[in-house]
């Protein structure tokens, strides 16, 4: 089937291997079960109710999303325990209240202003997590700011309609490391920081709640989850070149690729010009041998994409164009009109850019919430 699908490609097409995705989900769920932690996967990676069903198959009942709009999309599909892992957006409070009538909903806060706003505007029972910064420095209260954390947790517990859930962190700084060992250590120290916060709350007679952590490198590479109640990784469903380069996955586990038609060739520079650019891959890069790349070629074998060619680099993207440098031997194997399979640097961003999958095994077209969001002009 994979060969027939490639023959039908006319324009950049996002391919998924659902069999690989199923295996990736099963591995993470088994790890959570062995460590007796709840798996609350982040659905911002795949953004698809169809792929969400793969998680139901292994017994997942709780999910994480990155926006109120995404929460609406998955609640409509029957998910009933949803965490919006994004700073509370005051301007969507009316939607949050409506959504809280339909499901067990939770939000994040990390400052007194948002907590005050929430207490004055919440109309339905609502779960609240306190976001802790353990090193990413994007949002959250720094884990050593003991009094600020204690004050915020106390404020939540003093509002009857709010249900304090616990403390949550995303150790996304593991993505910025240079090796699996370093990423594992970052994850370990992040976990320890969260346990320190929990201990401080207990020492001051405050309900500590649950401890939630959740980046894919950390959850994949770390084995000690003692003291953790919940993990919220997302990228593991597909993985990508970031995870592969870091050592958090093997090339065989990457479950997503972009099929790009070859539209031109430059024999002097050994470059294939692809129909596949910034609006398909996004603009995130990975440093390979000192060169920033937007993607790497993935070889087609056994009916799917597999072996990563680190010597075949997408070195430049403009809006629609992608420039793929390849060794001379590879260059001569491709002609204008052929299709090249490319592994993305960041699968989450490509999903957002493309909005639809084709399963390389079955040919099934799989929609995402991206297709359902109207474009405002």
Q: What is the CATH number of the domain that holds 26?
A: 3.20.20.10
Q: Are 84 and 105 in contact (CB under 8 A)?
A: yes
Q: Are 80 and 206 members of one domain?
A: yes
Closest CA to 238 of 254, 252, 260: 254
Rounded to an integer, the average pLDDT of 53-82 is 98
Domain boundary among 239, 266, 290: 239
The answer to whether 239 and 245 have CB atoms below 8 angstroms apart is: no
263 domain-assigned: yes
Residue 124 lies in a domain: yes
Model pLDDT for residues 272-297, shown as the tens digit of each residue: 999 999 999 998 999 998 899 999 99
pLDDT tens readout for residues 72-102:
999 999 999 999 999 999 999 999 999 999 9
pLDDT at 30 over 80: yes
Residue 1 pLDDT greater than 80, yes or no = no
Q: Which residues pair with 261 in a beta bridge?
A: 339
pLDDT at 372: 62
SS3 call for 61: coil
Query: CA 47 to CA 281: how far, in whole Å?
Result: 16
Residue 200 lies in a domain: yes
Q: How far from 181 is each of 222, 235, 284, CA to CA, in Å?
A: 9, 19, 23
Q: How many angstroms separate the most distant Cα atoms in the chain?
A: 72
- pLDDT for residue 374 is more than 90: no
Number of domains in the chain: 2
pLDDT at 176 (0 to 100): 87
Residues 51 and 170 in one domain: yes
Query: 197 and 282 share a domain?
Result: no
- As a whole number, mean pLDDT of residues 232-259 equals 97
For 116, the token pair is 């005050």
Residue with tokens 């970031």: 242
Indicate whether 134 and 185 sit together in one domain.
yes
**pLDDT tens, 194-213?**
999 999 999 999 999 999 99
Residue where a domain terminates, one of 211, 239, 267: 239
* Same-domain status, 86 and 235: yes
Q: Where are the alpha helices (DSSP H) in 9-83?
A: 18-34, 49-57, 68-76
Give the pLDDT of residue 2.
86
* 34: Cα separation from own chain's centroid: 23
Q: What pLDDT, in 10s, does the model give residues 325-345?
A: 999 999 999 999 999 999 999
Q: Are 140 and 131 in contact (CB under 8 A)?
A: yes
Paired with 129 in beta bridges are 108, 166
pTM over 0.75? The answer is yes
CATH number of domain containing 365? 2.40.37.20
Domain encompassing residue 136: 18-239
pLDDT attached to residue 316? 97
Residue 39: helix, strand or coil by DSSP?
Answer: strand
For residue 291, is it within any domain? yes
């Amino acid at each position: 089937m994979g060969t027939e699908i490639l023959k039908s490609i006319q324009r950049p097409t996002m391919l998924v291997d659902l069999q690989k995705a199923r295996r990736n989900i099963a591995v993470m769920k088994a790890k959570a079960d062995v460590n007796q932690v709840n798996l609350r996967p982040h659905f911002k990676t795949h953004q698809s109710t169809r792929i969400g069903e793969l998680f139901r198959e292994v017994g997942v009942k709780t999910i994480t999303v990155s926006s109120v709009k995404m929460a609406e999309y998955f609640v409509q599909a029957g998910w009933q325990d949803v965490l919006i892992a994004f700073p509370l957006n005051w301007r969507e409070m009316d939607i949050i209240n409506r959504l809280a009538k339909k499901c067990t909903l939770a939000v994040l806060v990390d400052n007194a202003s948002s907590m005050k706003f929430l207490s004055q505007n919440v109309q339905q029972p609502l779960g609240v997590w306190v976001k802790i910064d353990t090193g990413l420095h994007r949002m959250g209260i720094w884990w050593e700011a003991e009094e600020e954390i204690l004050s915020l947790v106390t404020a939540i517990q003093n509002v009857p309609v709010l249900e304090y859930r616990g403390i949550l962190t995303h150790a996304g700084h593991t993505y910025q490391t240079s090796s699996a060992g370093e990423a594992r250590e970052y994850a370990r120290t992040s976990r320890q920081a969260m346990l320190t916060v929990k201990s401080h709350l207990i020492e001051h007679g405050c309900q500590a709640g649950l401890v939630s952590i959740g980046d894919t490198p950390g959850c994949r590479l770390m084995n000690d989850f003692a003291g953790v109640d919940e993990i919220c990784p997302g990228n593991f469903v597909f993985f990508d070149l970031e995870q592969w380069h870091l050592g958090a996955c093997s090339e065989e586990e990457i479950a997503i690729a972009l099929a790009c038609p070859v539209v031109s060739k430059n024999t002097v520079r050994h470059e294939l010009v692809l129909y596949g650019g910034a609006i398909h891959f996004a603009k995130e890069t990975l440093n390979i041998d000192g060169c920033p790349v937007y993607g790497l070629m993935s070889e087609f074998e056994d009916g799917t994409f597999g072996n990563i060619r680190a010597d075949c680099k997408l070195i430049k993207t403009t809006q629609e164009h992608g420039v793929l440098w390849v060794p001379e031997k590879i260059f001569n194997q491709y002609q204008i009109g052929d299709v090249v399979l490319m592994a993305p640097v960041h699968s989450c961003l490509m999903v957002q850019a493309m909005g639809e999958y084709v399963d390389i095994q079955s040919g099934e077209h799989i929609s995402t919430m991206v297709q359902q969001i109207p474009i405002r002009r």
